[in-house]
Structure 1
């Protein structure tokens, strides 16, 4: 058994997206140890005025998005006729495939939001597939409680203490897995990880203690290779998103919301979007 350790920390930095929405963003996620994850945003707005004009219609190609709302409500609509609304713990997943235009707007009664959006790469063989969409309410997630921890399992198979199971978002597997984990103060939880997989943790409350290093809220921890990772919560406990994924291991060419393998494919995506081929 080889223990994983934290090889790098990346701090989320203030940014804006959509129509003036303030976010905290972890960028530069092209490190081999982060593949297949491309980007992580945390949205934490106390007032509706902080939400700007939401995220009006915009295109995507060649990647997947996963939106997880801890608090507040958001509505998805897209050019393929899909519409979905999630609230307080719900999840929206979309595979953009060959091209889609979508919007993500706060519900009329939302005064504040706390949530996350992940971008996950698609392999070349799937980048021009048909777009897909699914929303999952909080009640349909797999909720687990064990000694010193609680979790909402969203996607993938996980072993948490004595519990072994999977989340309801089967569409994301086997490419990636996601769980929202809360550790009680000073709890140690050891997770088995398949060799070769990326394993990341984004701390959004409290802290993790790793080899005499404190990982505070707003940091993404990137691990070395190994077949297990031991998480230790700080004195105030820890709340974190755990991300696990199989590397795509292909070149990445990105221009805004288009994620392809070559610059020529990016140029084609722009032409197709301008020609109205995204719906």
Structure 2
């Protein structure tokens, strides 16, 4: 099989969102080689002041979120009456569809918060679908121990990992998106089969991968869509997310929490929210 080449490196940057929550952000709305992925935020701090303000009620339309916590706890509430919580090792999936108003508020759990929120685009045909939501506890997420000491947590998708066929619990993600959280020890190599034509990206949130290039702190690596293998080698002990999905190849119009195909659709989303018709 043909190994995929590294085609682009995107720098993450410190930012804040919600009620002053400190994050590290990758904004990908205009990054066509990241399609169908729109944004990735890393939430990481051991200081309560950095995150306890949380994300008070706010709207979304036209996209999905997948929130995954390695440490900490978040409580989700939305205008449809859903209430759920995830704790260390768990995940929350939400499809905003035609509109949802929700909040995500931290709780103290083991001290500190470390997690990720991924935004996945919805194709035009699904942007005005009914919103949906699901919690996945840590106990439902498979963990594959690697032969050389690392491990892979499988949140979504069908994967072949060192001869094992493993399927993640999140099976309704837009663009057939798949999601892994990988830990490799120094010098270890992981080879993952992946369907040619699928988008493949990796976010290195700890340590270094060997790429033959100088990498910035916490980079996003974008791989070519041609080839049937992703090969990762740890230059030092490393932790990283691997995301794959089908490119949607549609225009992206983005304003705050709304992601549509045209500016007119964005204006309509704002009107619907302001008039109280949001999500209906």
Scaled by the length of structure 1, the TM-score of the pair is: 0.95
Question: Please, which moves more after superposition, 2-11 or 69-78?
Answer: 2-11
- Residue 85 (structure 1) aligned with residue 85 (structure 2): yes
Q: How does 1:37-56 map to 2 (within 5 A)?
A: 37-56=37-56
Change (3 A) 1:198 1:157: same
Structure 2 counterpart of 1:166: 167
- Decide whether the 8 Å contact of 1:208 with 1:216 is kept in 2: no
Structure 2 counterpart of 1:34: 34
What are the Cα deviations for residues 87-115 of structure 1, in whole angstroms up to 9, with x where unaligned? 11110000000000000001155641000
- Residue 189 (structure 1) aligned with residue 202 (structure 2): no
Shift of 1:228: 1.2
From the two aligned structures, give the one with the greater strand fraction.
1
What are the Cα deviations for residues 2-21 of structure 1, in whole angstroms up to 9, with x where unaligned? 22121111111011100011
- Residue 21 (structure 1) aligned with residue 21 (structure 2): yes
Q: Distance in 1 between matches of 2:215 and 2:198?
A: 22
- Residue 116 (structure 1) aligned with residue 116 (structure 2): yes
Q: Distance in 1 between matches of 2:173 and 2:109?
A: 30
How many matched pairs? 277
Match of 2:234, SS? strand
Match of 2:208, SS? strand
Structure 2 counterpart of 1:201: 202
Scaled by the length of structure 2, the TM-score of the pair is: 0.95
Structure 2 counterpart of 1:66: 66
Match of 2:49, SS? helix
Question: Please, which moves more after superposition, 90-99 or 154-163?
Answer: 154-163
- Decide whether the 8 Å contact of 1:79 with 1:278 is kept in 2: no
Match of 1:171, SS? coil
Change (3 A) 1:187 1:110: closer
Structure 1 counterpart of 2:246: 246
Shift of 1:214: 5.0
Question: Please, which moves more after superposition, 58-67 or 40-49?
Answer: 40-49
Unmatched 5+ stretches in structure 2: none
- Decide whether the 8 Å contact of 2:23 with 2:42 is kept in 1: yes
Q: How does 1:100-111 map to 2 (within 5 A)?
A: 100-108=100-108, 111=111
Question: Please, which moves more after superposition, 83-92 or 173-182?
Answer: 173-182
Shift of 1:30: 3.2
